């Protein structure tokens, strides 16, 4: 009788709860460093993939050695030493009022609300200068903020690639922004012409016979709202409040 008392039942349940809590907490603490390493590796994989540089089967850390991480002062469009590129967290900074500027609704097509003063960009440099420039981009789709990278070739006009590494759009609809075929359709498109941002995602299919096909991207069928989000965020980040000042500066150095 005593072994079936309420007190004993509660005692066993409590002991079980404590054991489980300790196991789960220990697992979380022990696995955190491994998770951080994997997260950093995933980001590097996505940076390389967005620029069309990722080679399957080759160590990502080794491949990432060709990338230099730089910080850009978004106001001046110049590279900056104000923060350490290796430790600076742009996503965190964009939520910190001391590290970011609030955007007025009419100047915020990507619906990001705040933009960090400094941005982390990824550069591939060769003997003749910058070969690829990989820019962080983010903005709202239909259900979520899309985080990704857009890479430009050494002319700072031609798209080298695009990729999103985090979003919560619907698989098969907005989630098709991850479709390799759609991503490939960006490669070689014209982002800037005569210093102006021209690239745009349209609704429907691009008519390859008409003028403008070289800077238009097919919209995704059944996912107009997500693709409009992509169009808005690309326009914002390649525009004057985004990376246009940096691109103009780099192009003037090149001339």
Ligand X SMILES: Cc1cc2nc3c(=O)[nH]c(=O)nc-3n(C[C@H](O)[C@H](O)[C@H](O)COP(=O)(O)O)c2cc1C
Smallest separation (angstroms) from ligand X to the CB of 232:
12
Based on DSSP, count helices (H) and strands (E) in the chain, helices before strands.
6, 12
C-alpha to C-alpha distances, 3 to 10, 13, 17, 109, nearest whole angstrom: 12, 14, 20, 67
Q: Of the ranges 28-36, 158-166, 215-223, 242-250, which one interacts with ligand X (CB under 6 A)?
A: 215-223
**From the CB of 35, what's the least distance to ligand X, in Å?**
27
Judged by beta carbon, residue 142 or residue 150, the one nearer ligand X is 142
Decide whether 188 or 222 has the Cβ nearer to ligand X.
222
- 149-188 residues near ligand X, rule: CB under 6 A: 169-170, 173-174
The secondary element (H helix, E strand) that includes residue 160 is strand 159-166
Query: Using alpha carbons only, what angle is made at residue 47 by residues 42 and 51, rounded to the nearest 5 degrees?
Result: 145
DSSP code for 229: H
226 CB neighbour count, 10 Å cutoff: 26
- Taking CB under 6 A as the criterion, the residue among 103, 225, 239, 248 binding ligand X is 225
Site for ligand X in 91-120 (CB under 6 A): none
> In whole angstroms, how large is the CA radius of gyration of the chain?
23
Q: Which of 9, 32, 221, 240 binds ligand X (CB under 6 A)?
A: 221
Among 152, 223, 246, 247, binds ligand X (CB under 6 A): 223
- Give the shortest CB-176-to-ligand X separation in angstroms: 9
Write out the two tokens for 38.
């994997």
| Interatomic CA distance for residues 185 and 238, integer angstroms | 18
Between 63 and 170, CB nearer to ligand X: 170
User: What is the binding site for ligand X (CB under 6 A)?
Assistant: 142-143, 169-170, 173-174, 221-226
């Amino acid at each position: 009788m005593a072994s079936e008392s309420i007190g004993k039942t509660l005692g066993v349940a409590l002991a079980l709860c404590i054991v489980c809590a300790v196991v789960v907490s220990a697992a979380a603490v022990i696995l955190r460093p491994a998770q951080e390493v994997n997260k950093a590796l995933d980001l590097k994989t996505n940076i390389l993939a967005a620029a069309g540089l990722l080679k399957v089967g080759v160590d990502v850390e080794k491949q990432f050695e060709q990338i230099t991480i730089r910080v850009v002062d978004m106001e001046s469009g110049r590279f900056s030493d104000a923060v350490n590129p290796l430790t600076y967290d742009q996503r965190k900074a964009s939520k910190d009022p001391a590290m970011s500027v609030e955007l007025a609704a009419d100047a915020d097509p990507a619906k990001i609300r705040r933009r960090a003063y400094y941005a982390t960009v990824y550069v591939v440099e060769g003997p003749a200068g910058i070969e690829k420039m990989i820019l962080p981009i983010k903005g709202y789709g239909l259900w979520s903020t899309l985080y990704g990278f857009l890479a430009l070739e050494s002319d700072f006009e031609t798209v080298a690639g695009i990729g999103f590494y985090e979003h919560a759009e619907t698989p098969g609809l907005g989630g098709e922004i991850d479709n390799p075929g759609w991503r490939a359709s960006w490669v070689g498109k014209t982002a800037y012409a005569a210093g102006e941002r021209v690239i745009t995602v349209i609704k429907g299919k691009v008519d390859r016979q008409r003028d403008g096909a070289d800077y238009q991207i097919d919209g995704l069928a059944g996912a107009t709202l997500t693709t409009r989000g992509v169009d808005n965020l690309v326009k914002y980040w390649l525009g004057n409040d985004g990376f246009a000042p940096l691109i103009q500066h780099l192009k003037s150095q090149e001339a």
